[in-house]
Protein backbone atom coordinates (compact mmCIF):
# COMPACT_ATOMS: atom_id res chain seq x y z
CA UNK A 1 0.00 0.00 0.00
CA UNK A 2 1.32 3.44 -0.93
CA UNK A 3 0.26 6.45 1.12
CA UNK A 4 -0.01 9.36 -1.30
CA UNK A 5 -1.15 11.79 1.34
CA UNK A 6 2.33 12.46 2.71
CA UNK A 7 5.72 13.02 1.09
CA UNK A 8 8.81 14.04 3.06
CA UNK A 9 12.24 14.87 1.67
CA UNK A 10 15.28 14.07 3.81
CA UNK A 11 17.72 16.51 2.23
CA UNK A 12 17.81 19.15 -0.48
CA UNK A 13 17.41 18.63 -4.21
CA UNK A 14 14.90 15.76 -4.19
CA UNK A 15 12.21 15.65 -6.88
CA UNK A 16 9.63 13.33 -8.41
CA UNK A 17 9.65 12.15 -12.02
CA UNK A 18 7.32 9.63 -13.64
CA UNK A 19 4.53 9.23 -11.07
CA UNK A 20 1.11 8.04 -12.28
CA UNK A 21 -1.88 8.18 -9.93
CA UNK A 22 -4.70 6.99 -12.18
CA UNK A 23 -8.05 5.32 -11.53
CA UNK A 24 -7.98 5.37 -7.72
CA UNK A 25 -10.69 6.04 -5.14
CA UNK A 26 -9.74 8.39 -2.30
CA UNK A 27 -12.25 8.27 0.54
CA UNK A 28 -12.18 10.01 3.91
CA UNK A 29 -13.86 7.75 6.46
CA UNK A 30 -14.16 10.04 9.50
CA UNK A 31 -15.01 13.53 8.24
CA UNK A 32 -13.53 15.42 5.34
CA UNK A 33 -9.81 15.92 4.70
CA UNK A 34 -8.45 18.97 2.91
CA UNK A 35 -6.48 17.18 0.18
CA UNK A 36 -4.70 13.90 -0.57
CA UNK A 37 -1.36 15.36 -1.66
CA UNK A 38 1.11 17.29 0.46
CA UNK A 39 4.80 17.71 1.11
CA UNK A 40 6.13 17.78 4.66
CA UNK A 41 8.76 20.53 4.57
CA UNK A 42 9.84 20.24 8.22
CA UNK A 43 13.20 18.73 7.16
CA UNK A 44 13.51 19.80 3.51
CA UNK A 45 11.34 20.79 0.56
CA UNK A 46 11.22 19.25 -2.89
CA UNK A 47 12.79 20.76 -6.01
CA UNK A 48 9.61 21.61 -7.93
CA UNK A 49 11.55 22.89 -10.99
CA UNK A 50 12.93 19.38 -11.62
CA UNK A 51 9.59 17.57 -11.41
CA UNK A 52 8.06 16.19 -14.59
CA UNK A 53 5.74 13.47 -15.86
CA UNK A 54 3.35 13.56 -12.89
CA UNK A 55 -0.11 12.37 -13.90
CA UNK A 56 -3.18 12.51 -11.64
CA UNK A 57 -6.15 11.46 -13.75
CA UNK A 58 -9.50 9.63 -13.56
CA UNK A 59 -9.50 9.43 -9.75
CA UNK A 60 -12.59 9.60 -7.52
CA UNK A 61 -12.63 11.81 -4.42
CA UNK A 62 -15.12 11.20 -1.58
CA UNK A 63 -14.86 13.51 1.42
CA UNK A 64 -11.84 15.33 -0.04
CA UNK A 65 -12.19 19.12 -0.13
CA UNK A 66 -9.51 19.91 -2.75
CA UNK A 67 -9.19 17.57 -5.72
CA UNK A 68 -5.96 16.85 -7.59
CA UNK A 69 -5.91 16.71 -11.38
CA UNK A 70 -3.09 16.93 -13.89
CA UNK A 71 -3.66 17.94 -16.57
CA UNK A 72 -6.27 20.35 -15.21
CA UNK A 73 -9.02 20.99 -17.73
CA UNK A 74 -11.26 24.01 -17.38
CA UNK A 75 -13.75 25.67 -19.69
CA UNK A 76 -13.21 29.37 -20.34
CA UNK A 77 -15.16 31.80 -22.49
CA UNK A 78 -13.16 34.88 -23.48
CA UNK A 79 -15.32 37.54 -25.15
CA UNK A 80 -12.52 39.81 -26.38
CA UNK A 81 -8.94 39.43 -27.55
CA UNK A 82 -6.46 39.88 -24.72
CA UNK A 83 -2.83 39.07 -23.90
CA UNK A 84 -3.77 37.70 -20.45
CA UNK A 85 -6.65 35.39 -19.61
CA UNK A 86 -8.12 35.66 -16.13
CA UNK A 87 -10.73 33.32 -14.73
CA UNK A 88 -12.00 32.83 -11.16
CA UNK A 89 -11.09 29.11 -11.36
CA UNK A 90 -7.41 30.00 -11.79
CA UNK A 91 -7.30 32.93 -9.37
CA UNK A 92 -9.28 31.18 -6.62
CA UNK A 93 -11.89 33.92 -6.38
CA UNK A 94 -15.01 31.78 -6.75
CA UNK A 95 -16.94 29.44 -4.48
CA UNK A 96 -16.42 25.70 -5.08
CA UNK A 97 -19.52 24.68 -3.15
CA UNK A 98 -21.14 21.81 -5.01
CA UNK A 99 -18.67 21.92 -7.87
CA UNK A 100 -16.16 19.43 -9.14
CA UNK A 101 -12.54 20.33 -9.89
CA UNK A 102 -13.11 21.16 -13.55
CA UNK A 103 -16.50 22.85 -13.39
CA UNK A 104 -16.69 26.08 -15.35
CA UNK A 105 -16.90 29.27 -13.34
Residues 8-18: pLDDT tens digits?
778 788 888 99
Taking only the tens place, the pLDDT of each residue in 49-94 is 898 888 888 899 999 998 888 877 777 777 888 887 777 666 555 4
DSSP assignment, residue 83?
A: S
pLDDT at 3 over 50: no
CB atoms within 10 A of CB 30: 6
Note whether 95 and 84 are within 8 A (CB).
no
Residues 6+ apart with CB under 8 A from 105: 74, 87, 88, 89, 94
pTM of the full predicted structure?
Answer: 0.57
Q: Cα Rg for the chain, rounded, in angstroms?
A: 16
DSSP assignment, residue 38?
A: -
Amino acid sequence: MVHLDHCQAYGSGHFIQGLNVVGNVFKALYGNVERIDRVDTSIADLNYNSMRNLQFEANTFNGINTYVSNPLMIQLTQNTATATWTTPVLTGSHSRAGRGPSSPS
